[in-house]
Structure 1
C-alpha cells in the first residue's frame, strides 16, 4: 500500500519545486521579456537583442499572438536568421519567400564569424526590422542586434501583448 500524504503536502512539495526551478531559471537568465509597445520603441528606446557564438538567440512573438510577415537585417555579415515557419525576407532590393503567407512566430538569430561583404560599412551592431500581424493589424519592430563574446546571458527574448492601460507603461524597457 502506498502512503497518502494528502493534497496539502502535495501542493507544498510542488510549490517548493517550482520555487527552486524559478530560481534556477532566474539565475541562468534564460529568458528575457518585453511588452509589444516597448519592443516597438514606443517608450523612446530601441530595444536590444544580443547574439553569442555559443548559442543562438530566439526572438519569440508567440506570447503576443503575432505572426511574422517580413524581416530584414541591415548587416547580415555576422548573424544568420532562421524561422519556425515559412518566411518572407528582404535581401537588398529583392524579397525571398511568400510575403502574403508568411507564418513564422519565432526568429532564431545565430552569430557567425564576420563575412567580408563588399559595400557594407564596418559596424559593431546592426538593426533587425520585423513586421508582424495580429488580428489583421500590422506592427513594426526594430531591434539593435549586439554581438556578445562572453557567456550567453539568455536564449530567448519573448514579446508579450501590451499591458492593460492601468498596468505598466511603455517607458521602461526590460533589459
Structure 2
C-alpha cells in the first residue's frame, strides 16, 4: 500500500485574514525596497546655474574613502578648461581627457595642457591626509572649475566635503539651465531694491 501525504493548504474561513496578510506583506516589501533605494542613490544632479552658485548657495561635493565621486559636465555639453584645488592633501583628481590643473595659490604651478584641455568629467577620490607644509587642517576645501561651451566660459566653485561612512552617490551631473521666460537663468536669485 502506498502512503499519500496530503499537503493541501486550507486558508482560514475569515475573509479578512488574507487581505490583512497581503497588506502586511506588501508594506514590509515597500519599506525594505524604499530603504534600499535611499541607500543606493547613485546620481545627484543640478542645473548649471545652481552649480555656479547663481542662486546664492555654494554647491557641495562629498568625497569618501570607499569610492570616487565623479563631477560630470557631459549633460551640459561643457568642456573643462582649467581646475584649481585649494587643498590637494586629501583628494586626488583624475580626468577623462587632457587637462590643465593648478595646485595651491601659485598661478604658475600648472600641470598639463592648458591650451588644449578637453575633459568633461573630474573624478575625485578621498585619500589619507598627506602632510603638506603650510596647508592648514580643514574638513573641506574648494574646487574651482572653468568650463567652455560655444566659445563662452563658465566659472564653477564647489565646496569639497571630506566624508566618512558609506557613499551617498557616485556622480554629480551638471545639466544645462532650464528654459526661462527672462534673460536670466531660472535659478538666479534676483536682488530686491530697498526704498
Report the TM-score range of the alignment, normalised by the length of the smaller protein: 0.7 to 0.9
Residue aligning to 2:135: 120
Compute the displacement of 1:171 (Å): 5.7
Say whether the 8 Å CA contact 2:51–2:59 is kept in structure 1.
Answer: yes
Looking at secondary structure, tell me which structure has more strand per residue: 1
The 1-side partners of 2:96 and 2:133 are apart by 30
Residue aligning to 1:132: 147
Structure 1 runs (4+) greater than 4 angstroms displaced: 23-26
Compute the displacement of 1:49 (Å): 0.3
Q: Which runs of 5+ in 1 are unaligned?
A: 1-22
> Structure 1 length normalisation: TM-score?
0.81
Residue aligning to 1:150: 165
Among 33, 55, 58, the residue aligned to 1:43: 55
Relative to structure 1, the CA distance from residue 37 to residue 25 in structure 2 (aligned partners, 3 Å threshold; closer, same or farther) is farther
Say whether the 8 Å CA contact 2:62–2:161 is kept in structure 1.
Answer: yes
Residue aligning to 1:103: 118
Among 56, 67, 81, the residue aligned to 2:79: 67
Q: Secondary structure at the match of 1:55?
A: coil
Count of aligned residue pairs for this structure pair: 150
Structure with the greater alpha carbon radius of gyration: 2
Deviation readout 1:71-91 (Å, 9 max, x if unpaired):
010001100000000000013
